[in-house]
Amino acid sequence: MFKAIAHIVWAVDYHIMRKIIIIGATSGIGRELAKIYAGEGNLVGVTGRRQELLYTLQLEYPNDIITQCFNVTEEDNTLHLESLIRKMGGMDLFVYNAGYGDISKEPNWNIDHRTVSTNVNGFMEMLHVAYRHFAAQGHGQIAVTSSIASLRGSSQAPAYSASKAFQSNYMEGLYILFKKQKRPIYITDIQPGFVDTKMARATKTFWMASPEKAAKQIYNAIEQKKWRVYITHRWWLIAKIVRWMPDFIYHRIG
């Protein structure tokens, strides 16, 4: 009964003021998304490895931004996130935007290890903290920035595409599970194409989007509680083509 009442109150106040945590908000999409939510008057908790960048973001929105500096590949991540939730007095939306990937012409343990530590291990650890919080309060939303690279293997960054496939498949599984259980914990799997970041600049790219444009479309998808979205929207066409492309063709270009 209490959880049902809490969910009704949350639904009424959803567009008034929310408590949002973004993991990985020092730059790029995460930073721009934090600006959007803070600009609306929401309370936004931001995390990242670089304290100075978190501090400059907090200076822009001193009444709306709370920071917690930590690296998702290191120890005590659970304690850091739980501490941030307490400082904010709760959480309504959790966004996992931390990510790592690099180009490698051959298997590279340093790249692969960091990729899996960030995109798989860190992702799972942080997501489970968020889930426990939402399960206890009876509602919430989890969004993860995966990638269009999750669709199939990549010869340029095998660990990256594999780790993003893990994220997207796990999110789809949660979406189906919560839908079957009729639980108001919403799932949003975000699959960007090329966004103007360090990794994208290292490859031959097309349809490059600015972090600002990507963040705006991601914001809209989260607000609409879409379970999966391609960023920018026209990447859905590439997703369809790549997903159904015969192996003998994809293996020449992938």
DSSP character string of 97-163: --------SS--HHHHHHHHIIIIIIHHHHHHHHHHHHHHHT-EEEEEE--GGGGS--SS-HHHHHH
User: Which tokens belong to 124?
Assistant: 């799972």
Q: How far is residue 146's CA from residue 208's CA, in Å, rounded to a whole number?
A: 16
Sign of the four-CA dihedral 62, 66, 72, 76: positive
Angle, vertex CA 147, rays to CA 110 and CA 69, nearest 5: 60
Selection from 125, 127, 117, 112 nearest residue 189 by Cα: 127
Selection from 86, 31, 35, 87 nearest residue 61 by Cα: 35
CB 13 within 8 Å of CB 139: no
Give the residue numbers annotated as catalytic, written as ranges.
160
In the sheet that holds 93-96, the strands lie side by side as 65-69, 43-48, 19-23, 93-96, 140-145, 185-192, 228-231
Q: How far is residue 98's CA from residue 75's CA, in Å, rounded to a whole number?
A: 16
